[in-house]
Structures are given as structure tokens and as C-alpha cells.
Amino acid sequence: MNNIYSKTKEELECYFESIGEKKFKATQTIEWLYQKREANIDNWTNIKKEIREKIQDHFTFEMPKIIKREQDKLTEKYLIELNDSQHIEAVLMRHDYGNSVCVSSQVGCNMGCVFCESGRLKKIRNLETYEMVSQILLIEELINERISSVVIMGIGEPLDNYENVINFIKIINDAKGIAIGARHITLSTCGLIPKMKELMNLPLQINLAISLHASNNDLRSKLMKVNKVYSMNDLVDTIKEYINKTNRRVTIEYVMLNNVNDKIEHAVELAHILHGLNVYVNLIPYNETNHLEFKKSNQSQIMKFYDTLKKNKINVTIRKEFGSKISAACGQLRSKEVEK
């Protein structure tokens, strides 16, 4: 599959050089695709017809489709149909600082976190780069507004689809293209350590978020299968290494599960583990789903947990809840569709 929306600037440059053309044609192509949003190559007037024909022979231009849109005041959720009839989801969140989109990186997920809806349905395949890029393009076109930030927190484990995800980030970050600043791009991982090590060596200033969700190794192994492969100790060491290498603050995600990981002693234990690290903890109110037995922590428990972390000098915020009325827990819309 040689879709043009999967190609980074460097890849397009290589292509143009390979057909004996100048590298700057890559920039022109990017401007047509992402600035002028002109998908009809016949209208690319500054590129000669003969070259346009070569481009058309070499690349496909097809895009997935948005087939369902659910809305509430600040959130919209989309079900997207891919060209092989698989489904994924993307979510738009309207913040006071701009529009943010949560993109999926795989069809299904194999990480097997017990509280997560996406993981109930196993991974079918990785998303191609263009299938991630198109989540941004389709939504911008539909709402006729710009998206200013992207979180890779939808269905799938992005570091389990490393190459395509990195190319996706390069494409949306390209200043001549969609131009979303690296500081406005967040990648969330359950902690695939070898890939985190690769990521820390890339010159990309993106934000990294780690789904920690537990304050000790045993509890984490119960909640997240991945912890049996990459233990919490090693993960915390890797986070330290990441911070030292990149000089960037890392986000620790902690989903608040009633009576599971939300006790004061968990907060104390968590504070101890994270002590002195350049991180901030994002407490996530759990989005309940019909299929899983987990319940969300009540507000007062979340506040106690928050206060305990604060008292122990850990930076902490509580994630604003978006779209609980519109099946916004990652994977809910897709699983409804698949199980229909």
C-alpha cells in the first residue's frame, strides 16, 4: 500500500529524486495535500502534467471515511471505516485552548489491560500511517476548524506500531504541512521499554505519557498484562533515563479504579516511587463500560488521592472528563459496531 498520505517529506524527496526530479517537489506536494487540501492532483498547477501522471501511477490517494458521529457539548466521537472495512475511533475534545484529537494507532489492541474496552477485542492489524493522518484531515474537514493538538491515546498501543506512528508524527509536525507543534503532540504508552529507548534517541520534542495505573509491581501485573514482560521497576528506571536524555517532563497516567488502586496508601506508595522525578501525575476518572466490572472512584476519593500526592510534593492534575455520555471510553464505539 503506497498511499501518498503515508509519506514523510524525506520519503517524498527520495521518490522525486528517484524519478530524476528536484527535491523541492516534495514540499510542493505537501503544500497541496495539507495546506491547500487539494486531493485532486489535476489541480496541482505548479507540477507538470507528466510528473503528475507519474505520481498518480506510483501512489494511491484513498482515504478512510467517517461513518458515524456522536456529539455532546465539548466532545465528538467518530467511527471511521477503513478501506478494508475495519473500524476505528477518533475523538475530538474542545478545550478553551483549542481543539484536540485523540487518534487510534491500531485496529484493536493486544496489551490486555483488564479495565480497558479496546483490549477486549484483540489486535487485527496496525494502522498504516495514512490511516492516522486521515483521522486529523477528516475531522478538520468535517468541523471546518483547525486541530491544535493531538494525543495518541485512542485504540491501540502506539509503540507496538512504532514506525508508522513515528512517520505519522513527522507528517503532522511538518511545518509546511498540517504543522502541529511537537509540544502539542502526546504519545501514550503502557510501557514498551525497548521502544521507549528508541524514542528517547529521536530528535522529536513530543510529550510522552506513561500509563502507570498502579503504585506497586504486583498490583500493576494484575491490571496490565504488559507488566509481566516489562516490570514496573524497569519501567520507572526507563522513565528516569528518558527524562535525563530528553530533558522533558513525562506525564504519568493513573486511572482511578474504585477500591482497586485509589486508596491513600496507594497514593503514598506512588509518591515514594516518583519522588524527585520530573513528572506530573494525571489522575483519570475511569470511564465505566457495560462489559467490565470496574467502577470509577468517587469524587471525594479522587480528591483525597490528589491531596496526598500534593502533600508529598508530586505535581498532579485531575483529567477533565469528556464525553462520558457518548461512549467515549476508548473502544466503546468500535466494540458496539463490531458486536452488532
Catalytic residues: 89, 330
Contact partners, residue 323, CB within 8 Å, separation at least 6: 72, 74, 75, 76, 77, 91, 93
Q: In angstroms, what is the minimal distance from the CB of 330 to ligand SAH? A: 5
SS3 (DSSP) at 122: coil
C-alpha separations of 222 from 112, 153, 261, 297, 301 in Å: 11, 21, 11, 18, 21
Q: In angstroms, what is the minimal distance from the CB of 233 to ligand SAH? A: 19
Between residues 2 and 259, which has the closer beta carbon with respect to ligand SAH? Answer: 259
Q: In angstroms, what is the minimal distance from the CB of 46 to ligand SAH? A: 40
Between residues 26 and 330, which has the closer beta carbon with respect to ligand SAH? Answer: 330
Between residues 83 and 231, which has the closer beta carbon with respect to ligand SAH? Answer: 231
107, 159 Cβ separation under 8 angstroms: no
Q: In angstroms, what is the minimal distance from the CB of 192 to ligand SAH? A: 9
Q: Which residues bind ligand SAH (CB under 6 A)?
A: 111, 113, 115-117, 153, 157, 188-190, 211, 213, 253, 255, 284, 286-287, 289, 329-330
217, 172 Cβ separation under 8 angstroms: no
Between residues 17 and 72, which has the closer beta carbon with respect to ligand SAH? Answer: 72
